[in-house]
């Protein structure tokens, strides 16, 4: 196997959960009610924990003295491989819930496949994460339903959130160059095979939430997995990496 492709793959998985965890953590102290402040922070903690496991593994694969922190804090936007969906701004609670829901459903399908991965380390990380992700799906699904079928205002906000975020969902199912290369050897999940299940699960929840399922043929944005991001990522990194950039090479 090509080591570079495999470490890129692990980095892609890690970047997804780190950036989403970072985004969710912005809510801490600002949630709509104390109980939900705690809930979104729990999800953020789960995601950052997953990111750490993945970066630690990636650091071993990359070598050259890499650590979880050099990978998270010293790569620039072009080297980040997260999909565009997770870097989108929190917006209102409807946007945050929708982003979480669309991603968690995808992540659960993906990690379920990863359980079978021939690399036992990756399979073990997937197994541990899957328990958390299953809860994220449940929690976010319920919120999608609650807000979709709540008040006229909440329904309208959800429709807007779905409309804004939908163009970033196509990329989830488009294999990147490293996924395609690894896929030939059965070393990466074929993400396009997850799409039908994802659509069905999202459709079911949207229907219960009385939210219209977006029509097909909407133009989909892409590029995040290859390091071509929206402008948001630069600011996320500027904030997140500030300490390591301003005071390089120190212990904290």
Partner 1 sequence: MSIRELEQIFLDKIDREIKIEPKDWMPDQYRKTLIRQISQHAHSEVVGMLPEGNWITRAPTLKRKAILLAKVQDEAGHGLYLYSATETLGVTREQTINDLHSGKAKYSSIFNYPTLTWADIGAIGWLVDGAAILNQVMLCRTSYGPYARAMVRICKEESFHQRQGFEILLVMSKGSPEQRAMVQDAVNRWWWPSLMMFGPHDSESTHSEQSTKWKIKRMSNDELRQKFVDMIAEQVKFLNVTLPDPKLKWNEARKHYDFGEIDWEEFWNVVKGNGPCNKQRLDARRKAWEEGKWVREAATAYANKRAARMKQQVA
Partner 2 sequence: MNIRITKYYYGDIPEDKAGGNGSAHTVAAKPTDWPLWEVFIRSKQGLDHKHVGSLHAADAQMAIENARDVYTRRMEGVSIWVVESKYIHASNPEEADSLYEPANDKVYRHPTFYELPDELKHM
Q: By the criterion CB under 8 A, which residues form the site for partner 2?
A: 33-36, 38-39, 42, 138-139, 142, 146
- Class of residue 20 by CB neighbours under 10 A (exposed 0-12, middle 13-18, buried 19+): buried
C-alpha atoms less than 13 angstroms from C-alpha of 162 in its C-beta half-sphere = 22
Q: How far is the CB of 89 from partner 1 (least distance, A)?
A: 13
Q: Which residue, 37 or 197, is less far from partner 1 as judged by CB?
A: 37
Give the Å distances, CA to CA, from 126 to 34, 74, 177, 186.
30, 25, 22, 16
Q: Cβ distance 29 to 16 under 8 Å?
A: no
Q: Which residue, 37 or 199, is less far from partner 1 as judged by CB?
A: 37
Q: Which residue, 20 or 194, is less far from partner 1 as judged by CB?
A: 20
Q: Which residue, 31 or 223, is less far from partner 2 as judged by CB?
A: 31
Report the alpha-carbon distance of residue 192 to residue 81 in Å, rounded.
Answer: 18
Per partner kind, with CB cut-offs from 5 to 8 A, the member of partner 2, partner 1, none near residue 139 is: partner 2
**Contact positions vs partner 1 (CB under 8 A):** 18, 22, 25-26, 28-38, 41-42, 44-45, 48-49, 51-52, 55, 68-69, 72-73, 92-93, 145-147, 149-151, 153-154, 157, 239-240, 242-244, 247, 250-252
Tokens linked to 82: 């997260």
Q: How far is the CB of 42 from partner 2 (least distance, A)?
A: 5
Per partner kind, with CB cut-offs from 5 to 8 A, the member of partner 1, partner 2, none near residue 102 is: none
Q: How far is the CB of 164 from partner 2 (least distance, A)?
A: 25
Q: How far is the CB of 39 from partner 2 (least distance, A)?
A: 5
Q: Cβ distance 94 to 160 under 8 Å?
A: yes
Q: Cβ distance 76 to 237 under 8 Å?
A: yes
Q: Which residue, 72 or 205, is less far from partner 2 as judged by CB?
A: 205
Task: Report which DSSP code applies to 33.
Answer: S
Tokens linked to 13: 């998985």
């Amino acid at each position: 196997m090509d080591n570079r492709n495999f470490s890129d793959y692990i980095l892609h998985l890690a970047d997804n959960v780190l950036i989403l965890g970072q985004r969710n953590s912005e809510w801490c102290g600002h949630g709509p009610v104390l109980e939900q402040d705690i809930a979104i922070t729990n999800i953020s903690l789960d995601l950052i924990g997953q990111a750490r496991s993945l970066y630690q593994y990636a650091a071993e694969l990359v070598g050259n003295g890499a650590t979880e922190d050099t990978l998270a804090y010293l790569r620039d936007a072009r080297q980040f491989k997260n999909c565009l969906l997770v870097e989108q701004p929190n917006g209102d609670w409807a946007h945050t819930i929708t982003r979480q829901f669309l991603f968690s459903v995808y992540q659960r399908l993906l990690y379920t496949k990863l359980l079978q991965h021939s690399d036992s380390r990756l399979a073990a990380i997937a197994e541990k994460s899957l328990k958390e992700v299953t809860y994220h799906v449940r929690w976010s699904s319920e919120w999608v339903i609650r807000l979709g079928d709540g008040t006229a205002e909440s329904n309208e906000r959800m429709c807007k959130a779905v409309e804004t975020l939908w163009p970033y969902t196509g990329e989830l199912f488009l294999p990147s160059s490293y996924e395609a290369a690894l896929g030939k050897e059965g070393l990466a999940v074929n993400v396009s095979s997850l799409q039908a299940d994802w659509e069905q699960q999202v459709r079911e929840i949207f229907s219960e939430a009385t939210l219209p399922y977006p029509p097909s043929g909407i133009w989909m944005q892409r590029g995040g997995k290859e390091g071509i991001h929206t402008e948001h990522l630069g600011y996320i990194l500027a904030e997140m990496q500030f300490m390591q950039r301003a005071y390089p090479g120190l212990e904290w």
